[in-house]
Amino acid sequence: VIRQRSVKIALVAAWAVAVVLLVGVGLKLFNELVLTPDRIAPGTRPVVSREREKRKIDIFFADENASMLVAEKRSIMLGAAIPADAKALVAEIIKGPESDTLLSTLPGGVRLLAAYEVGDTLVLDFSNELQTNHSGGSTGELFAVYSIVNTVALSLDEVAGVRILVEGMEVETLAGHLDLTRPLSIDLKLLERPRRQTARSSDYAG
Amino acid sequence: VVDVASATPVEVIEPPDTSGITPDFPPDYPALPDLPSLPGSVSDPEKFRFTVVVIDAGHGGKDRGACGRGGLCEKDVVLEIALGLKKLLAKRPGIKVVLTRTSDYFVPLKERTAIANHANNGLPGDVFISIHTNAHKSQKVGGFECFYISDAIDPDAEATAVFENAVINLEVDDEATRSALTPILWDLQFTEFVSQSSELAALTQQELADRLNTRDRGVRQAQFIVLAGVAMPSILIEVGFISNRIEESKLKTADFRGKCAEAIAEAVLVFKRRRDEMSRTMGRKTQP
């Protein structure tokens, strides 16, 4: 009986050791795989090697009715730091379209004062002309903002969101419509014609 | 079809008239009442009835909105369309109209959404309609279009808070259940708002196309502040380009403004009929 008991005790002890070991290994793995990257590099991303090269880039402008964004191809030297690349891209948008059938999207006299990264958000700080020389109207606002956001975020993979400031300050909107209080991401719907209406023929009737 | 709503008396709620006092000074709104508990049981179809239409005339006061080369400014055009729309809707049975501004004064965007979110005795209205005129630096650009909110974005914190208050009123005692339930319910509710907003935008665009002989620019989605801030289906209508010479002269006429108001009113009435029909169906299903 005593022998049987000691075997039982040994089994229980072995079981306990196994559990402790498993939990330990689990915690160690958890630490390494989940927690460590954040601890080592708070707020930075893995470094992607960026080669300095001329690239064919889509710069977005409004079509002649300002009903969609249309790309114009430009050859631009990229591969410097992200803010420097963003400055080169915005400079092309400010220059305006080469094609007669496209419309420029930014108000006259506007300059990009600064560009910097906060995590994967690119902050673009414009001169006050972005607001004061703006024509107003939601279409003018939408195309000004998304010609910038789409051009920059589609050409620079590292940029997930674009935050627009005016003279270093947060602005609610450019002219009373579009929310600029948070980062904006690519809007692909503006690259298509808006949908035509079929409200009458819709089979939705409650 | 018998309209049960016709028995309800017409009532128009407006902020106090501050015209002629200080146009640029924000009006003195009565303090927003505490949220009352929702009347009736969940199966009460009256609770779901569509009654309160919030009309938002864009800009106002020191914020002129966009102005045309002929000197016409957005804030004046949209106010007149909004007042015209109010007149058309308020005479219909079962509709209450709430305006975010009634004359030429400045109302901040956050205040507009707050008015809408408390328009129905402290609870959100049933639909939010923001009226604007458009502009572009190219004079050739023209036409009318309707916007509703992007479904890809999170609604504004204020709209979410209004909804959370409503959920708290739903007699869920258990704090844990409530906090687990709220984001899920709100997500479902927001999806439903986006779908209804899309429907109303399509209806309005069609009614405008039937009446205006300017370019139909179609329906778009955008992250506009007033649309993200309201806890109800919402659209923003751009009736025409004030930056376009021809459209500016049209926007000056009572005829064009009247047609805009008429088109929007018709779309809202169709939308209301559909919502009321849905409530009736829901009421029948939930009653024993």
Position B177 scores a pLDDT of 78
Q: A101: distance to nearest CA of chain B, Å?
A: 12
Are A173 and B228 inside 8 Å of each other by CB? no
Rounded to whole angstroms, the Cα distance separating A128 from A120 reads 25
Q: B83: distance to nearest CA of chain A, Å?
A: 21
Instruction: Compare CB distances from A204 to B136, B199, B228 and report the shortest one's residue.
Output: B199
Determine the residue of chain B that is closest to A181 in CA distance. B225
Instruction: Compare CB distances from A195 to B209, B219, B222 and report the shortest one's residue.
Output: B219
- How does residue A35 score in pLDDT terms, banded at 50, 70 and 90? low
Q: How far is CA B37 from CA B32, B169, B171, B193, B287, in A?
A: 15, 5, 9, 22, 21
A137 contacts chain B (CB < 8 A):
yes
pTM: 0.78
Instruction: With a cut of 90, say whether residue A143 has pLDDT above it.
Output: yes
Position B140 scores a pLDDT of 92
Determine the residue of chain B that is closest to A203 in CA distance. B199
Q: Are strands B96-99 and B11-13 parallel, antiparallel or unpaired?
A: parallel
Rounded to whole angstroms, the Cα distance separating B247 from B270 reads 28
A15: helix, coil or strand?
helix
A192 contacts chain B (CB < 8 A):
no
DSSP of B64-125, one letter per residue? Answer: ---B-TTS-BHHHHHHHHHHHHHHHHHTSTT-EEEES-SSS----HHHHHHHHHTTBTTB--
Q: B177: distance to nearest CA of chain A, Å?
A: 29
Position B186 scores a pLDDT of 83
- DSSP letter, residue A70: E
Q: Are strands B96-99 and B127-134 parallel, antiparallel or unpaired?
A: unpaired
Determine the residue of chain A that is closest to B65 in CA distance. A136
Instruction: Compare CB distances from B209 to A103, A176, A197 and report the shortest one's residue.
Output: A197
Q: Which residues of B touch A178 (CB under 8 A)?
A: 222-225
Residue A61, φ and ψ in degrees, nearest 5: -130, 170
Q: Which residues of A touch B143 (CB under 8 A)?
A: 65
Q: Which residues of A touch B133 (CB under 8 A)?
A: 137
Residue B211, φ and ψ in degrees, nearest 5: -115, -30
Residue pair B249/B70 in contact (Cβ under 8 Å)? The answer is yes
Position B267 scores a pLDDT of 98
Are A66 and B238 inside 8 Å of each other by CB? no
Q: B190: distance to nearest CA of chain A, Å?
A: 18
Q: Choose the weakest-confidence range: A68-77, A197-206, B19-28.
A: A197-206
Structure tokens at A15: 């079981």
Average pLDDT over residues A148-163: 96
Structure tokens at B122: 């402290």
Structure tokens at B207: 């009614």
Rounded to whole angstroms, the Cα distance separating A191 from A88 reads 22
Positions of chain B with pLDDT lower than 70, given as ranges:
1-48, 152-155, 166-173, 283-288
Q: A66: distance to nearest CA of chain B, Å?
A: 6
Are B278 and A206 inside 8 Å of each other by CB? yes
Higher per-residue pLDDT: B12 or A13: A13
Q: Which residues of B touch A177 (CB under 8 A)?
A: 132, 222, 224-226, 236
Burial of A121 (0-12, 13-18, 19+ CB in 10 A): middle
Q: Which residues of B touch A65 (CB under 8 A)?
A: 140-143, 215, 217
Position B187 scores a pLDDT of 84
Residue pair A107/B137 in contact (Cβ under 8 Å)? The answer is yes
Write the pLDDT tens digit of every residue in B27-43.
555 555 544 444 444 44
Residue appearing with tokens 């609610």: A172
Instruction: Compare CB distances from A206 to B142, B241, B274 and report the shortest one's residue.
Output: B274
Residue appearing with tokens 């999207």: A105
**Best mutation site among B67, B137, B140, B230 for testing chain A: the one with the most A CBs within 10 Å?**
B137
Rounded to whole angstroms, the Cα distance separating A72 from A56 reads 10
Q: Which residues of B touch A110 (CB under 8 A)?
A: none
Position A33 scores a pLDDT of 64
Q: A162: distance to nearest CA of chain B, Å?
A: 14
Helix intervals (H) in B123-216: 157-168, 175-211
Q: How far is CA A194 from CA A26, B146, B243, B288, in A?
A: 52, 10, 21, 46
Residue pair B128/B232 in contact (Cβ under 8 Å)? The answer is yes
Position A42 scores a pLDDT of 42
Write the pLDDT tens digit of every residue in A111-125.
999 999 999 999 999
B175-211 and B157-168 are packed helices; what angle lies between their axes, rounded to 10 degrees?
120
Position A154 scores a pLDDT of 96
Q: B217: distance to nearest CA of chain A, Å?
A: 7
Structure tokens at A79: 């591969």
